[in-house]
Amino acid sequence: MKNPLEKIIDSFFSGGTVNRRLHWTTLVSEKALLAFIGALTMVAVGLEVINIWEKKEIQLADLFLFFIYAEIIGMIGAFYASSRIPVTLPIIIAITALCRLLIAQGKEIEYSTLLSAAAAILLLAGAAYVMSLKDKLSLEKEDLRKKRPKKK
């Protein structure tokens, strides 16, 4: 005769994998964390607006920072719309961040830093292109699967 705790444990582990039964925790925690990131991003935007207002000066690096914030919010929106984050969005954010770094340093930038950042931007742009091809191929495969009749 099993005690009530053993019955609960047996019912939890029987009839399917633990992964399937715990999958909801991943979904909920992922959505909660992205909502938290979105809220913190909006706080950062507000603080940056206050900082610009106090300085009474807007620099190009500040505008790039706002693009980064907008891309982060866009990435969160893309997740909520499709339940997946396109890999190209974080790559684009990294490219924007590197451009901001180059602009913020201005004419005082060392050549080695400039060349390294340019090479990193080129590498990231290539990666974004390859990932976009992969996404296109995946969508084409999905369309083919939908058109093909199912086997019985």
pLDDT recorded at residue 18: 58
Residue 4 lies in a domain: no
Alpha carbons 41 and 56: distance in angstroms, whole number: 22
What tens digit of pLDDT does each residue of 31-67 get?
899 999 999 999 999 999 999 999 999 998 899 899 9
72: Cβ contacts below 8 Å, ≥ 6 apart? 37, 38, 41, 93
Residue 152 lies in a domain: no
- Total domains, the chain: 1
Give the amino acid at 1. Answer: M
What does each C-alpha distance from 23 to 27, 28, 102, 141 come to in angstroms?
7, 9, 42, 26
Q: Please give the residue range of the domain that contains residue 82.
A: 9-147
What tens digit of pLDDT does each residue of 89-126 get?
889 999 999 998 888 888 888 899 899 999 999 999 99
pLDDT recorded at residue 105: 85
Mean pLDDT of the chain: 83
